[in-house]
Amino acid sequence: MAAPSLELESRAAIVTGAGQGVGRGIAVALAAAGARVLLCGRTAAKLEAVRDEIVSTGGTAATVAGDVATAADVQRCIEAAVAAFGTVDILVNNAIAQPLGQLLEVDDQAFEYGFDSGPLATLRFMRGCYPYLLGGGSVVNIGSGVALQPSLTGFGCYAAVKSAIGSLSRAAACEWGPVGIRVNTLLPLALTPAMAGFLEVHPEATDGILGQVPLGRFGDAELDVGTAAVFLCSPAAAYITGATLSVDGGQDYVR
Residues with catalytic annotation?
Answer: 158
Non-local (6+) Cβ contacts of 195 within 8 A are 218
Question: Cα dihedral sign for 112, 49, 145, 205?
Answer: negative
| Count of C-beta atoms within a 10 Å radius of residue 90 | 28
Q: Are 66 and 43 in contact (CB under 8 A)?
A: no
Distance (Å, whole) CA 46 – CA 37: 15
DSSP letters along 204-241, please?
THHHHHHTT-TT-SPBPIIIIIIHHHHHHHSGGGTT--
Report H helices in 57-151. 71-85, 108-115, 121-133
